[in-house]
Protein backbone atom coordinates (compact mmCIF):
# COMPACT_ATOMS: atom_id res chain seq x y z
CA UNK A 1 0.00 0.00 0.00
CA UNK A 2 1.21 3.48 -0.80
CA UNK A 3 1.11 6.63 1.34
CA UNK A 4 -1.54 9.04 0.00
CA UNK A 5 -1.36 11.45 2.92
CA UNK A 6 0.20 14.88 2.98
CA UNK A 7 2.57 16.35 5.52
CA UNK A 8 1.97 19.59 7.38
CA UNK A 9 4.96 20.93 9.34
CA UNK A 10 6.65 17.52 9.16
CA UNK A 11 3.64 15.70 10.60
CA UNK A 12 1.72 13.28 8.41
CA UNK A 13 -1.93 14.28 8.18
CA UNK A 14 -4.13 11.31 9.03
CA UNK A 15 -7.56 10.80 7.49
CA UNK A 16 -10.64 9.55 9.32
CA UNK A 17 -13.50 8.37 7.12
CA UNK A 18 -17.03 7.93 8.52
CA UNK A 19 -19.36 5.63 6.57
CA UNK A 20 -23.13 5.19 6.69
CA UNK A 21 -25.79 4.34 4.13
CA UNK A 22 -26.77 7.56 2.34
CA UNK A 23 -24.16 10.06 3.61
CA UNK A 24 -26.85 12.59 4.50
CA UNK A 25 -27.47 11.90 8.22
CA UNK A 26 -25.11 9.96 10.49
CA UNK A 27 -21.75 10.05 8.71
CA UNK A 28 -21.81 13.79 7.88
CA UNK A 29 -22.96 14.52 11.45
CA UNK A 30 -20.08 12.39 12.77
CA UNK A 31 -17.60 14.21 10.51
CA UNK A 32 -18.87 17.65 11.58
CA UNK A 33 -18.86 16.66 15.25
CA UNK A 34 -15.29 15.32 15.00
CA UNK A 35 -14.04 18.43 13.18
CA UNK A 36 -15.63 20.57 15.92
CA UNK A 37 -14.25 18.40 18.75
CA UNK A 38 -10.72 18.32 17.30
CA UNK A 39 -10.26 21.85 18.66
CA UNK A 40 -10.06 20.27 22.13
CA UNK A 41 -7.15 18.04 21.08
CA UNK A 42 -4.15 20.24 20.21
CA UNK A 43 -1.96 17.23 19.32
CA UNK A 44 -4.47 16.22 16.65
CA UNK A 45 -5.95 19.54 15.53
CA UNK A 46 -4.58 20.42 12.11
CA UNK A 47 -3.16 16.92 11.66
CA UNK A 48 -6.41 15.03 11.07
CA UNK A 49 -8.59 15.30 7.97
CA UNK A 50 -12.18 14.15 8.48
CA UNK A 51 -14.37 12.99 5.61
CA UNK A 52 -17.55 10.95 5.15
CA UNK A 53 -19.20 8.77 2.54
CA UNK A 54 -22.16 6.46 2.08
CA UNK A 55 -22.30 2.97 0.65
CA UNK A 56 -25.50 3.92 -1.25
CA UNK A 57 -25.12 7.71 -1.39
CA UNK A 58 -26.84 9.84 -4.00
CA UNK A 59 -23.91 11.98 -5.18
CA UNK A 60 -24.05 15.64 -4.13
CA UNK A 61 -27.13 15.30 -1.91
CA UNK A 62 -27.09 17.82 0.95
CA UNK A 63 -27.06 16.93 4.64
CA UNK A 64 -30.61 16.28 5.81
CA UNK A 65 -32.33 19.26 7.45
CA UNK A 66 -32.95 17.39 10.73
CA UNK A 67 -29.20 16.61 10.84
CA UNK A 68 -28.38 20.28 10.27
CA UNK A 69 -30.78 21.29 13.05
CA UNK A 70 -29.30 18.69 15.44
CA UNK A 71 -25.79 20.00 14.80
CA UNK A 72 -26.88 23.62 15.17
CA UNK A 73 -28.50 22.73 18.51
CA UNK A 74 -25.02 21.54 19.58
CA UNK A 75 -23.45 24.82 18.48
CA UNK A 76 -21.90 23.31 15.35
CA UNK A 77 -22.24 25.42 12.22
CA UNK A 78 -20.13 23.17 9.95
CA UNK A 79 -23.12 21.85 8.02
CA UNK A 80 -22.12 22.44 4.39
CA UNK A 81 -22.04 18.99 2.85
CA UNK A 82 -22.25 17.20 -0.47
CA UNK A 83 -22.85 13.45 -0.25
CA UNK A 84 -20.41 11.08 -1.89
CA UNK A 85 -20.48 7.37 -2.53
CA UNK A 86 -17.83 5.25 -0.87
CA UNK A 87 -15.05 4.46 -3.33
CA UNK A 88 -11.87 2.42 -3.33
CA UNK A 89 -9.92 5.69 -3.53
CA UNK A 90 -11.55 6.96 -0.29
CA UNK A 91 -10.92 3.64 1.46
CA UNK A 92 -7.26 3.68 0.41
CA UNK A 93 -6.84 7.34 1.43
CA UNK A 94 -8.23 6.79 4.93
CA UNK A 95 -6.10 5.79 7.89
CA UNK A 96 -9.15 4.94 9.99
CA UNK A 97 -12.61 4.03 8.70
CA UNK A 98 -15.50 4.16 11.15
CA UNK A 99 -18.80 2.62 10.09
CA UNK A 100 -22.00 3.61 11.84
CA UNK A 101 -23.44 0.09 11.57
CA UNK A 102 -22.01 -3.40 11.60
CA UNK A 103 -23.68 -4.03 8.22
CA UNK A 104 -21.62 -1.21 6.70
CA UNK A 105 -18.47 -2.68 8.25
CA UNK A 106 -19.15 -6.19 6.93
CA UNK A 107 -19.94 -4.83 3.46
CA UNK A 108 -16.70 -2.80 3.33
CA UNK A 109 -14.64 -5.74 4.59
CA UNK A 110 -16.08 -8.00 1.89
CA UNK A 111 -15.46 -5.45 -0.87
CA UNK A 112 -12.00 -4.30 0.31
CA UNK A 113 -10.56 -7.15 2.41
CA UNK A 114 -7.00 -5.82 1.97
CA UNK A 115 -7.98 -2.65 3.93
CA UNK A 116 -9.80 -4.57 6.67
CA UNK A 117 -7.38 -3.70 9.50
CA UNK A 118 -8.34 -0.01 9.44
CA UNK A 119 -12.11 -0.64 9.42
CA UNK A 120 -14.18 -0.57 12.60
CA UNK A 121 -17.60 0.43 13.77
CA UNK A 122 -17.68 3.78 15.56
CA UNK A 123 -18.75 2.11 18.80
CA UNK A 124 -16.28 -0.72 18.28
CA UNK A 125 -13.32 1.64 18.03
CA UNK A 126 -14.62 3.86 20.85
CA UNK A 127 -15.83 1.22 23.31
CA UNK A 128 -14.91 -2.21 22.02
CA UNK A 129 -18.50 -3.20 21.23
CA UNK A 130 -19.95 -3.32 17.74
CA UNK A 131 -23.39 -1.93 18.57
CA UNK A 132 -24.87 0.23 15.83
CA UNK A 133 -25.70 3.92 15.89
CA UNK A 134 -29.36 3.66 14.78
CA UNK A 135 -30.35 5.43 11.58
CA UNK A 136 -32.58 8.44 12.36
CA UNK A 137 -33.70 8.82 8.73
CA UNK A 138 -37.33 9.91 8.49
CA UNK A 139 -37.79 10.27 12.25
CA UNK A 140 -38.37 13.28 14.49
CA UNK A 141 -35.88 16.05 15.22
CA UNK A 142 -35.63 14.66 18.75
CA UNK A 143 -34.38 11.33 17.38
CA UNK A 144 -31.78 13.19 15.30
CA UNK A 145 -30.64 15.15 18.37
CA UNK A 146 -30.32 11.91 20.34
CA UNK A 147 -28.36 10.31 17.49
CA UNK A 148 -26.04 13.33 17.38
CA UNK A 149 -25.49 13.06 21.16
CA UNK A 150 -24.63 9.34 20.85
CA UNK A 151 -22.20 10.13 18.04
CA UNK A 152 -20.62 12.97 20.04
CA UNK A 153 -20.05 10.67 23.02
CA UNK A 154 -18.34 8.11 20.77
CA UNK A 155 -16.28 10.81 18.98
CA UNK A 156 -14.75 12.02 22.24
CA UNK A 157 -13.74 8.44 23.10
CA UNK A 158 -12.28 8.00 19.62
CA UNK A 159 -10.33 11.25 19.90
CA UNK A 160 -8.91 10.29 23.29
CA UNK A 161 -7.70 7.04 21.75
CA UNK A 162 -6.32 8.79 18.65
CA UNK A 163 -4.58 11.37 20.81
CA UNK A 164 -2.60 8.49 22.30
CA UNK A 165 -2.06 6.70 18.96
CA UNK A 166 -1.48 9.65 16.62
CA UNK A 167 -1.01 12.74 18.80
CA UNK A 168 1.83 14.71 17.31
CA UNK A 169 3.74 11.66 16.09
CA UNK A 170 6.30 12.74 13.48
CA UNK A 171 6.78 10.44 10.54
Task: Considering the candidates 132, 135, 141, 163, report the single residue annotated as catalytic.
Answer: 135
Is 26 marked active-site?
A: yes
Is 25 marked active-site?
A: no
164 Cβ contact partners less than 8 Å away, ≥ 6 residues apart: none
Task: Considering the candidates 25, 26, 35, 95, report the single residue annotated as catalytic.
Answer: 26
Cα–Cα distance between 43 and 27 in angstroms, integer? 24
Burial (CB count within 10 angstroms: exposed 0-12, middle 13-18, buried 19+), residue 134 = middle
- For 25-39, b/e burial (b = at least 16 CB within 10 A) is bbbbbbbbbbbbbbe
Is residue 40 within 8 Å of 6, Cβ to Cβ?
no
User: Edge-to-edge strand order for the sheet containing 48-54?
Assistant: 48-54, 14-20, 96-99, 119-121
What count of residues does the chain have?
A: 171
Task: Considering the candidates 20, 35, 95, 145, report the single residue annotated as catalytic.
Answer: 20
109 Cβ contact partners less than 8 Å away, ≥ 6 residues apart: 116, 119
Is 112 marked active-site?
A: no
Give the residue numbers marked as catalytic. Answer: 20, 26, 135
Amino acid sequence: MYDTSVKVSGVRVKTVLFVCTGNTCRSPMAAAIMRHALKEYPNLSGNVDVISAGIMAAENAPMSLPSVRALEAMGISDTAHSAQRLSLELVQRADLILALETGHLFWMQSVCPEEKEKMHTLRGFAEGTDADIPDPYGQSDEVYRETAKQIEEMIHKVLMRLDTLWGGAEE
